[in-house]
Amino acid sequence: MENFLSQKRILVTGSCGTIGSELTRQLLEDYQVKEVVCIDNNESELFFQEQKHLAHNNIRFGLADIRDCEKLRRMMQGIDIVFHTAALKHVILCERNPFEAVQTNIQGVKNIITAASENKVEKVIFTSSDKAVNPTNVMGTSKLMGERLMTAANSNQRAETTIFASTRFGNVLGSRGSVIPIFKEQIKKGGPITLTDPEMTRFIMSIKQAVQLVIDSAEIAVGGYVFITKMPVIRIKDLAEVMINELAPIYGHIPNNIKINIIGSKPGEKLYEELMNHEETRRAMELEKYFVVKPAFEGLYNKSSYSQNKIVNEIVTNPYNSSNESVLSKEELRKFLLTHNLFEECMVASHPDKRY
């Protein structure tokens, strides 16, 4: 079946990461793409990824770092669409190594823009984070700068050759470093589960959902815009309790015997997630699966618009954050985890059980 990616040459940065690896899989198996080019600076994981996809003859791999603009220039020759997922994403590590975060999450985005512009790539989609909204840490601030660079890239074009856009979403459950595998290991050992704050809420989605929405956003991308994925909200305490009830018997434990210890929030960590703030609501509109934020200085940018049948609401008044949204019940959360095989996925590999 024909789709907007049919016969396109796609470049995926950070192809060995959680989003990048699933994106690569979907592009190969679910879309008639002409070629997928995967780049990452993790040599071992790139080797294993290549072995995994030996059956496909339309994929190639490059050992590359997005800090290397010359390498990006070469890798983007003949590329139609770039999905930029490479980033430093761990809050604590970015806080301790801010100059590294700048070089990868800011300078790296600039390099992507430069290489894509020079090679006249059709579209570049930058995967951003909820932490870019009212950032309280280095990682979030660097992601916000990445979004602003993508938006500004459109105004710097003499001709409308490349569409630069960002897509912003929250927690991807089951991804490396997420709380699910940590809780699993703690339950496996009989507890206790360490919880930062019982009132903490988060937006959630599965890895497959996140990648599908990244691909969808590429189809409807308008230059300079930020696409904000709609997703359900949970309490982290509810997640812990649901996982205890489901997994404790599997590991030979009685659920009621597994304690939950409150350890307090990490530096720079919010009690709730923000995907769109008050200022952005003034220039936002609502689509079926997304909110879309227009550039702050739209008059300076190449203008595009949506047909009316795609817009659910042209006026958005409430900021999109997890404290304003209805929280899934424990039963709804349990069904979500089962539907997306998140219990099964967290059983596969071992993971450290300690938290900051």
Q: What is the set of active-site residues?
A: 131
- Cα separation, 4 vs 124, in Å, equals 14
Angle between helices 179-188 and 236-247 (to 10 degrees): 40
Distances 75 to 23, 63, 168 between C-alpha atoms, Å: 18, 10, 25
CB-CB contact of 80 with 118 (8 Å):
no
User: How far is Cα 308 from Cα 318, in angstroms, rounded to an integer?
Assistant: 21
- What residues does 234 pair with on adjacent strands? 202
Quick one: which of 283, 282, 286, 281 has its CA closest to 295? Answer: 283
Measured CA to CA, the distance from residue 250 to residue 30 in angstroms comes to 34
Q: How many CA atoms lie within 13 A of 191 on its CB side?
A: 22
Q: What is the CA radius of gyration of the chain?
A: 20
